Amino acid sequence: MNGSLTFLGIESSCDDTAAAVVRRLPDGRGEVLSSEVEGQSALHAAFGGVVPEIAARAHAERLDHCVERALAAAGLTLSDLDGVAVTAGPGLIGGVLSGVMLAKGISAATGLPLLGVNHLAGHALTPRLTDGLAFPYLMLLVSGGHCQFLIVRAPDQFQRLGGTIDDAPGEAFDKIAKLLALPQPGGPWVEAEAVKGSAKRFALPRPLLDRPGCDMSFSGLKTAVLRARDAVIAEKGGITVQDRADLCAGFQAAVAAVLAEKTRRALEIYLAENPGVPVLAVAGGVAANSVLRADLETVCTRLGVAFTAPPLRLCTDNAAMIAWAGIERHLAGARPGSDLTARPRWPLDASAAPMIGSGKKGAKA
């Protein structure tokens, strides 16, 4: 259509059922024509984490309606599209399968080309959709399921410099909230409590800062908060509102300090190779945290690096990023294969050492 490309995107790899329509204009700019996201927090609330079977069933029940709403909101029908992109992994396999099956059905019925997209590539390419960022750039992905540094060189070229070896930061925020009887998802609640607390009261560890490189660990920090909480309970018979605020502040400061220092190291590696394009982009729900953002911006200012973060609705899980990644892959020459399969694990950088562990939000990559 006049050199523009319009793709439907479908996302169902964790606990958000999402569909979106995105257009790439002939001048390269991206336009989100619609982005529907239906969260499942209420369905999983009683279980303290995402239950894969419940998630898969909800995706299967809701995805087709979600696609209809996305098309209606964009004012388009399937015949106006140039292609379909679907998250083919990594993630909870039942959910990924729901999306892939629907996408295959749409493609078979309409003849539209279908591309499988890596969920992490969707996050990593979002700053090109929202800010028109040119390659290369350094991306820090921090969410409930992911945490890694990536040099993004092309739609299919990512170099992982490091990442968490256990929990993702958002997962740790959620677990701390649970320990302190705060609601889920815990990140915003912990941040709100932390504002009222002192980060200095509890001496919490800064895991892996004593080791070189960009790998991180957040699971020990969570245990340290649990011990500090239990010590207060043993001493006083319970925790006060102030104790809780101080624990939240201490935890948040530790996460931000680790992420800021590891970001500094990742930037040093990136800048040594790409001195002419000093750019850090962040994505993922945890990037909403204002203390973390401020710390990252300070690191960037010190190193003369531009800092960019897509708007939150496109930073967290959504299908616009999947549609956009599909368009980028299409333009880079990817052609649909009938062998498109759902993959629970799918590292973006196949040459990087595998990550350890599999958190409550699904397989890590």
- How far apart CA 329 and CA 154 sit, in angstroms, is 9
| Contacts by 24-27, CB closer than 8 A, 24 or more apart | 24/324, 24/327, 24/331, 26/2
By rule CB under 6 A, what count of residues binds ligand KG4?
Answer: 21
Q: For residue 215, count CB atoms less than 10 angstroms from its CB and return exposed for 0-12, middle for 13-18, buried for 19 or more.
A: buried
- For residues 346 and 89, the answer to whether their CB atoms sit within 8 Å is yes
Q: How many beta carbons lie within 10 A of that of residue 241, not counting itself? A: 10
Q: Tokens in use for 148?
A: 């890694």
Rank residues 23 and 123 by Cβ distance to Zn ion and give the closer one.
123
CB burial of 21-57 (b: ≥16 within 10 Å; e: otherwise) equals bbbbeeeeebebbbbbbbebeeebeeeebbbbebbbb
- Nearest approach, Cβ of residue 71 and ligand KG4 (Å): 24
Tell me the two tokens of residue 13: 């790899």
Please, what is the minimum distance in Å from the beta carbon of residue 289 to ligand KG4?
3
- The single residue among 361, 363, 364, 365 that binds ligand KG4, judged by CB under 6 A, is 361
Choose from ligand KG4, Zn ion, none: what does 288 bind? Cβ within 5-8 Å by kind: ligand KG4
Residue with Cβ nearer ligand KG4 (107 or 143): 143
Q: Comparing C-alpha atoms, which of 12, 9, 3, 26 is closest to residue 329? A: 9
Cα gap 289→201, rounded to integer Å: 21
Q: Which residue's CB is nearer to ligand KG4, number 172 or number 214? A: 172
| Interacting positions 201-240 with ligand KG4 (CB under 6 A) | none
Measured from the CB atom, the residue of 112 and 251 that comes closer to ligand KG4 is 251
Minimum Å gap between C-beta 127 and ligand KG4 is 15
- Give 255's DSSP letter: H
328 binds Zn ion (CB under 5 A): no
Residue 188 and residue 165 in contact, taking contact as beta carbons nearer than 8 Å: no
Q: What character string, x for contact with ligand KG4 (CB under 6 A) and - otherwise, covers 283-322?
A: -xxx-xx--------------------------xx-----
Nearer to ligand KG4, 192 or 331 (CB): 192
Residue nearest to ligand KG4 (CB): 187
Take residue 27 and report the two structure tokens written for it.
Answer: 């001048």
Instruction: Verify binding: residue 317, Zn ion, rule CB under 5 A.
Output: yes
Positive or negative, the CA dihedral 157, 163, 168, 173 is negative
290-303 and 187-194 helices, crossing angle to 10°:
80
R_g (Cα) of the chain, nearest Å: 21
Stretch that binds Zn ion, among 69-77, 212-220, 288-296, 315-323 (CB under 5 A): 315-323
Residue partners of 23: CB distance under 8 A and separation at least 6: 4, 5, 6, 7, 30, 31, 33
Does 92 help bind ligand KG4 (rule: CB under 6 A)? Answer: no
Within residues 167-186, the interface with ligand KG4 by CB under 6 A covers: 170-171, 173-174, 185-186
- Binding letters toward ligand KG4, positions 237-276, x by CB under 6 A: ----------------------------------------
Q: Is 91 in the site for ligand KG4 (CB under 6 A)?
A: no
User: Rounded to whole angstroms, what are the CA distances from 126 to 30, 50, 154, 289, 309?
Assistant: 10, 25, 13, 19, 9
Residues with Cβ within 8 Å of 112's Cβ and at least 6 positions away in sequence, in order, are: 8, 78, 81, 82, 83, 84, 106
Examine residue 71 and tell whether it contacts ligand KG4 (CB under 6 A): no
Query: Using the rule CB under 6 A, is 90 a contact of ligand KG4?
Result: no
Q: Which does 186 bind (CB under 5 to 8 A by kind): Zn ion, ligand KG4, none?
A: ligand KG4
| Least separation in angstroms between CB 55 and Zn ion | 13
Per-position x/- string for 104-143, each x denoting binding to Zn ion as judged by CB under 5 A, each - no binding: ---------------------------------------x
The yes or no reply on residue 36 touching ligand KG4 (CB under 6 A) is no
Binding site for Zn ion (CB under 5 A): 143, 317
Sites of contact with ligand KG4 (CB under 6 A): 14, 143-145, 170-171, 173-174, 185-188, 191, 284-286, 288-289, 316-317, 361
